[in-house]
Structure 1
Amino acid sequence: MCGRFTLRVSPALLAEMFALHRKPEFVPQTNICPTQLVLGVVLNQENGLRDARLFRWGLIPHWAKDPVIGASLINARSETISTKPAFRAAFQRRRCLIPADGFYEWRNTPGQKKKQPIWIAIRNQPVFGFASLWETWTSADGSELNTCTIITTQANSAVAPIHQRMPVILPEAFHEHWLDPLADPAELLTLLRPFPSEGIVLSTTVADELLASHGLPRQRTLFD
């Protein structure tokens, strides 16, 4: 299981698009991978403002004894996040948005052994947010690690020919409700649906350009 996405916008634009009270510090990236640190948007419950924080991609449940479990929990299926032990507590109280400007998936090409990378983005939208969950895991020595997972749903008609799943991309109008710790979880589940197909942009050219400096990722699937 693997994942790849991109975040290439400026800190100023990110702060504007996600209503952050200050510009975040981060380095734009074209090939963000599991277990790396990723930027997440959370609601600071002390002052009611939105903060940008770093999370390791791959959620480690607070009850886990071994942090290695995080590598297998980079995605959370929308259909089971309210009941699965690894995610249900985070879904109730620790929701976040993971900013991106695109993500990758791989498509079979007739006559070719290697799959063709596809870069998937939102039309006329320079940055968007994946619906995500976060958790704090405490090790035996008392040190803490903040981790996250990206929620997925059934693919829309634009993405389905490439992969049966896709990340949940939340429209800006739903950001406040998703981050609200007092929001009704039952209502939030209704937000976890595929982004409209007509808003999706697919590009093999952009994928090839962005991955050129890294080489093609060995793993071939993105979102479970």
Structure 2
Amino acid sequence: MCGRYVMAKAVGDLVAELEAEAEASLELRASYNVAPTTDVPIVLERLVDGVVHRQVHVAKWGLVPRWAKDAAVGVRAFNARTETVLDKPTFRAAIKSKRCAVPVQGYYEWKKLPDGKSKQPYFVHSDDGALITFAGLYEWWKDPAKQDGDDDLWLLSCSILTMPSPPDGELATLHDRLPVPLTREGMVQWLDPGAGDPAALLNMVLAQAFGIAAQWQLDAVGPEVGNVRNDSPELIMPLHG
């Protein structure tokens, strides 16, 4: 599962690392405690005049399908299960042609302690501090309550794909779900708007995911991360002792 993560990089850094482009006016809010329903960066590819452009956009975390009557449905769609994503009405259109990657510097997960009541938060990140990209989906939703020409007529939203955790290893003890990471080559294929077989793409990224996740580092962190109002670099500092 992915319910909180860290993204504190500037637009220029993301553009460089993801080999993408972005509008000069694009703004990102650095956050060490990103929660669902907030604005997050995504990278996607669009075909413009026969040329594919890889772009960084800002989307609301919680996918709103085009047929939704209001944006509130996104509250329940910040993650998409790989087992049902091809068939579930909320996601089945997006996975065919609106696939994105969600860049993160790491994410938080809570592990149940032996007493069965309390939980210990962990910050999960790459061992070398490199950017992680999760497989995601996006949609453009037209607000029926708005007028044509309104600046906020269209809402861009996204969801992160999750899969069952590996059967063993440290991640298996943390949670039974895992956000689906992409290799660099896997991201190229996942983002391709011309790729015509979403089931094959899904199988491809799933086959690579455990190998990527096996390299991640898990650091126990303080309980302050449990409150979304807390947002500072201290949240990812490992506990010692």
Q: Fold conserved (TM > 0.5)?
A: yes
Q: Residues of 2 paired with 1:71 and 1:42: CA distance?
A: 22
Residue type of the alignment partner of 2:39: L
Q: Deviations over 1:68-123 (max 9, x none)?
A: 11101111111111111110100001010111010011011234843110111122
Q: Residues of 1 paired with 2:128 and 2:159: CA distance?
A: 26
* Deviation of the 1:9 alpha carbon: 2.9
Please name the residue that 1:195 is paired with: 210
Long gaps (5+) in structure 1: 217-224
Task: Report which of the two structures shows the higher radius of gyration computed on alpha carbons.
Answer: 2
2:162 alignment partner, SS class: strand
Contact 1:9 1:126 in 2 (8 A): no
- Does 1:181 find its partner at 2:169? no
- Does 1:74 find its partner at 2:78? yes
Contact 1:2 1:33 in 2 (8 A): no
Change (3 A) 1:179 1:87: same
The 5 Å alignment of 1:121-140 reads 121-140=125-144
- Does 1:40 find its partner at 2:55? no
- Does 1:19 find its partner at 2:19? yes
Q: Could you tell me the TM-score, scaled by structure 1's length?
A: 0.86
Please name the residue that 2:150 is paired with: none
Q: Could you tell me the TM-score, scaled by structure 2's length?
A: 0.80
Q: Deviations over 1:35-77 (max 9, x none)?
A: 0001010113114221111111111111111321110111111
CA RMSD of superposed structures (Å) = 2.5
Identity of aligned residues (%): 33
Contact 1:90 1:133 in 2 (8 A): yes
Change (3 A) 1:34 1:118: same
Please name the residue that 2:175 is paired with: 163
Residue type of the alignment partner of 2:200: E
Change (3 A) 1:44 1:106: same
Long gaps (5+) in structure 2: 147-152, 232-241
Q: Deviations over 1:135-189 (max 9, x none)?
A: 1111223422111110001112331211110100101111111111111313201
* Deviation of the 1:195 alpha carbon: 3.0
